[in-house]
Structure 1
């Protein structure tokens, strides 16, 4: 037993030293073009040599940020579980630091290790979500803690997306997972955007019909600046005469974003028009291929969102819908979740230098915009880096607002009683009437 404890301490020391070592390196972002070129030309050995260094760097960068989180959050059971998962995956990768690159047995074991790591981290998103709920239930969350958690989760989930991207590329190209025809790993060099839109709409509509027994139709209009033409997809699923708009992209990432937006729009439209006998207004999608950007605009007439709630839409654990029950019964709407849909969708868009933005008109509807890079050479990974700037972010307190607000105004009103306020209003009215009388007399 004593020997085991000594070995465990030694192992912990070694892991901490390697973690400190790898965290000093910045991750190497790859562009979509580099991903495709690498997939076409690189060998299993090339991928192994790159990943056995790059994956520990990406893991170490985000693992060091855990230490910067508030202490009460670090002690939450779910957060502790996630930290242990990352530590185990980091240890698994350390085994291949000095392995022979040309050994086929080593390459096979490395691929198997990557599959285990991916499977081990499959529930990390919801585990971290439970950690946030545990924090809210156990402690009062102040503005500083909330800002730090929001900052960390954006970086943590972006790091997770990038690691899964690297693992998926390797396991599909060199593992036992069958490659999809005409794909390079999980990347489609000619991703048909209209088809992905239709797939996301169809699946979201299936859920909407199941729960609400109704769903809005879809209208798609396309404009290609490169080819100088515009056309409308009248019936989704049918072939169109014009050449489809395509881009080098990961179809699953685009589907994830669109599916989330369609779910939100359908739910809003059906619930907003629930008391009317009129047909549901359709969802309108405008797809535009420009010189630099590919833009997908989804417009609905679901009643819109108040401006007071717009800043909350990308906050983790905020949702406009009731939280689903853990049993997943009929009372929990399948079109709404725990509030992670929009924040994660925006991260998927930003991962390759795109973005996701919302504009809304309360009382009418909402426009959602997805921006993607049209050129694969410009679509480079956006990765979090652990450095002094990042450390300052966690230590800098949230600044007090320097403009007057309703809260500040209430501080001045609060000392007055209701009667005092009435007397003040009466006095102000008399003063205004007296001024008006003077002006009339002077005239």
Structure 2
């Protein structure tokens, strides 16, 4: 089946409307705002929240749909990318055809609809990864990651925007939970212990390492388990999980055939005035300095790829593999930056790697809106 331009499968009026909405200004919110606003999920607040999303989501989605249509190197024509673009256009159409939200009944049906939109977009990351893979195959080995800067910058914007859209929808939907977790406002935990989240994420990563290699290095965590600050535990879990998984793999592969016990991975949690910093240190042999710029690109992974041509992107799960599409680091860095933090990797070739995950403690930085 030949790939269709959006103009063939969607009405001209819809495409024009996407163009119009894509030109409107996005409105960012901060972690603190989401927390304060969501701490009183009254019917009135839920109504205000849904009216905001009714206007904000189509703007954000339209911008991505326009970008998906105009990617360089023929990436827009790849079947997997066309599928993603269609999901965005369908979601835009659903949002725009939803009438004005006037009362709680409207608000509830709007909430059901955006819940469905979130599910529709579940497999965007593997689908895009597949499109990139198809592109790499076409371009052959002659292409240098540096040449694909434009695509890399697009993916940074695209995934950052996706984190924001999913956070806004997830947050709104979670405020309807009749039995919210104590201390939580939607997805935000007002008194999250970074140490406890780091321990649980590293245990998850370790069990995957055990499953894959039959053994795993120890992990030692330093810090105050009673220290808490407001953050989104699922975001932190994802970032620490990715970083620890990389460390485990490096140490495991370096020491596997030696008869000595692998050195432990150390996690240190420190609370500063501005930032909470989590340092993950391993003795896995480090990364060559020439390889460092590549670790944050989407076009490079040292692991064998779990996506082959026959993967059905409709059916992929969020199942965690030990090494994935090489997206763990760049996407973790976007999660860190989404709430004003950052991720830095410092390596010592021949010894090991330190990852510094900075999380903003203040929670008042606006979402970075690509």
**Contact 2:268/2:278 (<8 A) preserved:** yes
C-alpha spacing 1:174/1:362, structure 2 compared with 1 (3 Å): same
Asked if the contact 1:48–1:101 (Cα under 8 Å) also holds between the matched residues in 2, the reply is no
Residue of structure 2 aligned with 1:345, choices 328, 332, 337: 332
List aligned pairs for 1:17-416, cutoff 5 A. Answer: 17-41=16-40, 43-70=45-72, 72-96=74-98, 98-102=99-103, 104-140=104-140, 142=143, 146-174=148-176, 178-222=179-223, 244-324=226-306, 326=308, 334-377=321-364, 379-384=365-370
Contact 2:279-2:354 at 8 Å conserved across structures: yes
Equivalent residue, structure 1, for 2:15: 16
- Cα deviation, residue 10, structure 1: 12
CA contact (8 A) 1:70 1:145 kept: no
Asked if the contact 1:316/1:339 (under 8 Å) is kept, the reply is yes
Distance apart, 1:325 and its partner CA: 6.6
* Contact 1:260–1:342, Cα closer than 8 Å, also in 2: yes
Aligned residues: 350
Give the drift of 1:298: 0.5
Give 3-state SS (helix, strand or coil) of 2:175's partner: helix
Q: 3-state SS of the aligned residue for 1:271?
A: helix
Kindly indicate whether the alpha-carbon contact (under 8 Å) linking 2:50 and 2:101 is maintained by their aligned counterparts in 1: no
CA-to-partner distance for each residue in 1:282-305, whole Å, 9 max, x for gaps? Answer: 111121111111110110000111
Question: RMSD in angstroms over aligned alpha carbons?
Answer: 2.2
Aligned-partner SS, 2:39? helix
CA distance in 2, matches of 1:206, 1:13: 51
What is the CA deviation profile of residues 366-391 of structure 1, one whole-angstrom value per residue up to 9, with x for unaligned ones? 000100111122x321110xxxxxxx
For residues 6-59 of structure 1, give each alpha carbon's deviation from its aligned partner in whole angstroms, at most 9, with x where no partner exists: xx9997232223222222222111111100011023522111111000101111
Give the structure-1-normalised TM-score.
0.75
Q: Which ranges in structure 1 are unaligned for 5 or more consecutive residues?
A: 1-7, 223-230, 232-239, 385-443
Residues 10 and 266 (structure 1 numbering): CA distance in 2 closer, same or farther, change over 3 Å? Answer: closer
String of CA shifts for 1:76-108, please: whole Å, max 9, x gaps. Answer: 111111110000000000022x42422x33222
Q: Distance in 2 between matches of 1:175 and 1:107?
A: 14
Higher mean displacement: 20-29 or 196-205: 20-29
Q: Given the superposition, is the C-alpha separation of residues 45 and 325 from structure 1 closer, same or farther in structure 2, using an over 3 Å criterion? A: closer
Structure 1 residues 365 and 10, CA, compared in 2 at 3 Å: closer, same or farther? closer
Paired residue secondary structure (1:29)? coil
Residue 257 of structure 1 aligns to a residue in which SS? helix
Shift of 1:202: 0.8
Give the 3-state SS of the residue equivalent to 1:368 in structure 2.
strand
* Secondary structure of the corresponding residue to residue 359 of structure 1: strand
* CA-CA distance at 1:318 after TM superposition: 1.1
CA distance in 2 between counterparts of 1:300 and 1:10 reads 51
Unaligned runs of 5+ in 2: 1-6, 312-319
Structure 1 segments of 4 or more deviating over 4 A?
8-11, 140-145, 325-328
Query: Distance in 2 between the 1:123 and 1:10 partners?
Result: 21
Shift of 1:336: 1.2
Query: TM-score scaled by structure 2?
Result: 0.89
Q: From the CA coordinates, give the structure whose radius of gyration is larger.
A: 1
Query: In structure 2, do the counterparts of structure 1 residues 66 and 11 end up closer, same or farther at CA, with 3 Å as the change threshold?
Result: closer
